[in-house]
Structure 1
């Protein structure tokens, strides 16, 4: 029997200075909003969740170059379906993993801080993977994968799988690699390698790019959020 047509989008609870003048990273708005739209359009119920039940939006993700006007209207409207779900989002203790067919880890650089230790979200994703559901991440969302364990192997669910995610080259281009190192957290490429996955780079750091390996679906960057969610739906429909 196919898993339920219901999607859970994870958002980061972390925030930290990253940009000029101490402006902070947090949840990258379109990396949660675009998948929300894709899943709803495909007939999924959608919930959002974070490890602590809190979120802060990434500063850069709210700037004009990163938040198109149509998205901005939704983001700035507290009565929009997306904002209502986001502002009342769930914690792991509120969630029954068996009720969902897609787990999607949205991102923002802040994901590098909390996702590696987000045991509640990781356990939900592990249960869903065991159920045969789709487990997915975009951009820095892949920071959650090393801790999502396949109970049959005792290893990460991406061990032996092909994945993508934000490039180390992209971190260098943004000038934030030293900050990430100061957090004592691995880049997405390093985390994938440590988990035994084969990491594949997009043609360029900012090009839309996705990878599907069985029930594992990954995307490279903010531009890939929409396409990654569509790839999740496509993989789900094959279950």
Structure 2
């Protein structure tokens, strides 16, 4: 049976004061916008979903340095399809039917490492999509959810033995956030990947575009990788 050509983009529900300037972390805006655009252009239906049906934006993710002019146009337009999906039609994970989707894509922001490890409804959705033969993918801090999605035959995480990427520990050091993450007891992506049996691959520099497809698992290293990771998802879906 053919999988539905429909993608679920997961976003962190949690948002909280995180940075030294007192601003919040939450969803890193383009990590959802860029995959949404890629999937829509490829003919997928797309839903945005969080654990609670709510979200907050990472305050820094909408700064000029992270947005193209095209991104800014969407951000400023409340009637743009992505804006409507995010701000008006965001779904709660427990309310969606996983069988409607062929792709699970975990967008992120630093909030994801505090949100996804306890987001049991999102984990369940990702698990069902995987069990159905679909693609499970994640960007930047989104791979924090991957150890909780397991192969039903081996009982091991689906990333066990696979090549994956995600935000580097060096990147956390460069941003001055390593101590805060450790204080919060949140996982570092490199560490959680290794603990799940994955082969972690880092980009040459923390903010270089890098995405990896290993079978039905697709990962991207950082916000700059959102487009390429989504394109790899589309390609992997086409091979199913």
TM-score by length of 2: 0.97
Unaligned runs of 5+ residues in structure 2 are none
2:184 match: 183
2:130 match: 129
Q: Partners in 2 of 1:168 and 1:21 — Cα distance?
A: 21
Spell out, residue by residue over 1:208-227, the C-alpha distance to the aligned partner (whole angstroms, 9 max, x if none).
00111100000000000000
1:9 match: 9
2:36 match: 36
1:76 match: 76
1:221 match: 222
Cα contact 1:27–1:57 (8 A) shared by 2: yes
Q: Partners in 2 of 1:153 and 1:118 — Cα distance?
A: 22
2:198 match: 197
2:213 match: 212
Cα contact 2:94–2:122 (8 A) shared by 1: no
Q: Partners in 1 of 2:28 and 2:2 — Cα distance?
A: 31
1:173 aligns with 2:174: yes
Spell out, residue by residue over 1:116-160, the C-alpha distance to the aligned partner (whole angstroms, 9 max, x if none).
111101111111111110000000000111111222222211111
The offset of 1:92, in angstroms, is: 1.5
Q: Does the residue aligned with 1:107 lie in a helix, a strand or coil? A: coil
Q: Partners in 2 of 1:199 and 1:180 — Cα distance?
A: 19
Q: Partners in 2 of 1:210 and 1:97 — Cα distance?
A: 25
1:104 match: 105
1:234 match: 235
Unaligned runs of 5+ residues in structure 1 are none
Cα contact 1:117–1:147 (8 A) shared by 2: no
Q: Partners in 2 of 1:12 and 1:4 — Cα distance?
A: 24
Q: Partners in 2 of 1:24 and 1:90 — Cα distance?
A: 22
Spell out, residue by residue over 1:33-72, the C-alpha distance to the aligned partner (whole angstroms, 9 max, x if none).
0000000000000000000111000011011101222211
Q: Partners in 1 of 2:76 and 2:18 — Cα distance?
A: 23
Q: Partners in 2 of 1:15 and 1:73 — Cα distance?
A: 24
Cα contact 2:160–2:198 (8 A) shared by 1: yes
Spell out, residue by residue over 1:68-109, the C-alpha distance to the aligned partner (whole angstroms, 9 max, x if none).
222112112211100111122111222111111110000100
2:46 match: 46
Q: Does the residue aligned with 2:204 lie in a helix, a strand or coil? A: coil
Cα contact 2:51–2:94 (8 A) shared by 1: no
Q: Partners in 2 of 1:186 and 1:61 — Cα distance?
A: 21
Q: Partners in 1 of 2:119 and 2:153 — Cα distance?
A: 21
Cα contact 2:101–2:129 (8 A) shared by 1: yes
Q: Does the residue aligned with 2:77 lie in a helix, a strand or coil? A: coil
Spell out, residue by residue over 1:149-191, the C-alpha distance to the aligned partner (whole angstroms, 9 max, x if none).
2222222111111100000000000000011011101100001
The offset of 1:204, in angstroms, is: 1.1
Q: Does the residue aligned with 1:229 lie in a helix, a strand or coil? A: helix
1:57 match: 57
